[in-house]
Amino acid sequence: MSSTSSPDPYSAFLPYPETPVAHAASGPLAGLRLGVKDLFDVTGYPTGCGHPLKLEQSAVATESAPPVQALLDAGMAFAGKTHLDELAYSTNGVNHHYGAPVNANAPGRVTGGSSSGSAAAVAASLVDVGLGSDTGGSVRLPASYCGLFGIRPSHGAVSLERAMPLAPSFDTVGWLTQSAALLRKVGDVLLPPDAAGCGLARLLVADDAFRLLDDAVRAAFAPALDRVRAHFQGIEAAALFPEDTADRRPVFRAAQGHEAWQAHGDWITRYQPTMGPDVAGRFRLGSAVSREDYAAANEARRTIRAFLDSLLGADGIVLLPATVTPAPARDSSGPALEDVRSRVQQLLCVASLTGHPQISMPAARFEDAPIGLSIIGPRGSDRALLRWAERLSEIL
């Protein structure tokens, strides 16, 4: 799929000239195909980061990013580099320069982003695994919109060397698959052993997170939740948004925005690149976040993290919606897309702020489009959480 001669009706891949990438002949993932978000280096390819000027300035990589190499060493075959939102700074799945990939499971709707091409490629069965990154929801939201499984691991669990940063204290490697079993098998290759004492046993339901949904969307989730409650004994209700920190979005936007400007502000100032108005606006806001505001945001993050650590303990899992709506229509206006992005950010920013692992799983359909549920576990419980996702997938 990396070749310009290969058909790509889903606009999932960058049209790079095909360059062979070596992979192991055997291994736990042998025979499977890998799509790689174009912010990771892959030997023999440039790294465009969702922007044509970045692509123009990029050298051809002489070494693949560690998670890419690990998957190649596990036997996966490289299928191509996939599209992403501009500089990975959006969850809408629409790139000002390259357009929007096609969502095979909801063709009239966006894929979500910023791992848009990776999600599109997996949903269309062009690859088995889509490697992405997740800063503010860039794997979890496309997973929900496209009816896939997707994981944001514990912050720092997987190396981001030779990958474009956006906001380093939020950035994580993530991946998307069509099954929970394969999501776990990729984790077996990429993830370190779980922290000691991560015996996940308590399932909590974040009732207040479900109250953020419109009544009709909440009703669409009801059959899946009923199946979960019928299967597991002793499920507890939990409040994920205590009143003193109910809306975490201002904290997230300040901290992420400041770090994004630190990562890309010099390049933007020097080259004045053409950007989509939404992405340009986010960088503009980030440039205005003072060091004092950033420090205050990080102090608030510590409070939020401590709350979630206390809620989960060493053995808890909290179940919540992955999104507030199905994917918006492809022809939605910019303001409409931003409204959905803002609403869903209330759910997505929790794990981003705290560094906890979160997995999105297909659970229902609404208006003939997929919507997902998700689970958050203690920091360092990634492998155990993946096993729980397999258990839940059999119920959902």
Q: Which residues are catalytic?
A: 37, 114, 138
Q: Pairing mode, if any, of strands 202-206 and 33-37? A: unpaired
Which residues lie closer than 8 Å to 244 by C-beta, 6 or more apart? none
Query: 């390259």: which residue's tokens?
Result: 98
Residue closest to 321 by CA, chosen among 200, 230, 240, 236: 240
Which residues lie closer than 8 Å to 100 by C-beta, 6 or more apart? 11, 93, 94, 110, 111, 116, 330
Residue closest to 379 by CA, chosen among 314, 297, 299, 303: 314
In this structure, the chain runs to a length of 396
The full DSSP string for 78-133 is EEEEE--SGGG--SS--BTTTB----TTSTTB---SSSHHHHHHHHTTS-SEEEEE
CA 277 to each of CA 169, 273, 304, 335: distance values in angstroms, whole numbers, following the listed order: 25, 12, 31, 11
Residue type, 125: S
Tokens of 360: 């999105």
**What is the helix (H) or strand (E) element at residue 391, kind and residue range?**
helix 382-395
The full DSSP string for 316-379 is EEEEEES-SSSPPBTT--HHHHHHHHHHHHHHHHHHHHHT--EEEEEEEEETTEEEEEEEE--T
Is there a contact between 369 and 163 (Cβ–Cβ < 8 Å)?
no
φ, ψ (nearest 5 deg) of residue 366: -140, 130
